[in-house]
């Protein structure tokens, strides 16, 4: 279950705590935001054109460059922003 107290500012602070530079990898912009909500990145164990929607996945948040729109995923578990007890 997601921590209902986490905010975009809190996510950016967690990223900084982990050593993230918070600059855009595409344009170098420094105005970085957080996309609203979480996503799930599907993992596939083979590349054959099939999609296994019930397979493993990585819960993630995206930071977004407010200059060029580039999005960068970050694994939620590494940021410790989910209550996993």
Q: What residue segments make up the domains of the chain, in order of their start?
A: 8-46+54-79
Query: Rounded to an integer, what distance in angstroms lies between the CA atom of residue 74 and that of residue 22?
Result: 12
The conformational region for residue 62 under phi > 0 = left, psi -120 to 50 = alpha, else beta, is: beta
73: nearest Cα among 83, 59, 60: 60
Q: Name the E strands within the chain.
A: 32-34, 39-42, 57-65, 71-75
**Tens-digit pLDDT profile for residues 61-82:** 999 999 999 999 999 999 988 7
**Tens-digit pLDDT profile for residues 17-58:** 999 999 999 999 999 999 999 899 999 888 888 888 888 999
Per-residue pLDDT, 5: 61
Paired tokens of 73: 């995923």
Query: Rounded to an integer, what distance in angstroms lies between the CA atom of residue 10 and that of residue 22?
Result: 13
């Amino acid at each position: 279950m997601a921590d209902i107290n986490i905010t975009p500012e809190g996510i950016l602070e967690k990223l900084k705590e982990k050593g993230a530079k918070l600059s855009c990898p595409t344009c170098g912009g420094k105005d970085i935001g957080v996309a609203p909500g979480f996503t799930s990145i599907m993992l596939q164990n083979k590349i054959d054109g099939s999609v296994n929607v019930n397979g493993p996945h990585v819960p993630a948040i995206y930071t977004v460059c407010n200059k060029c729109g580039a999005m960068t995923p970050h694994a939620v578990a590494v940021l410790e922003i989910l209550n996993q007890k």
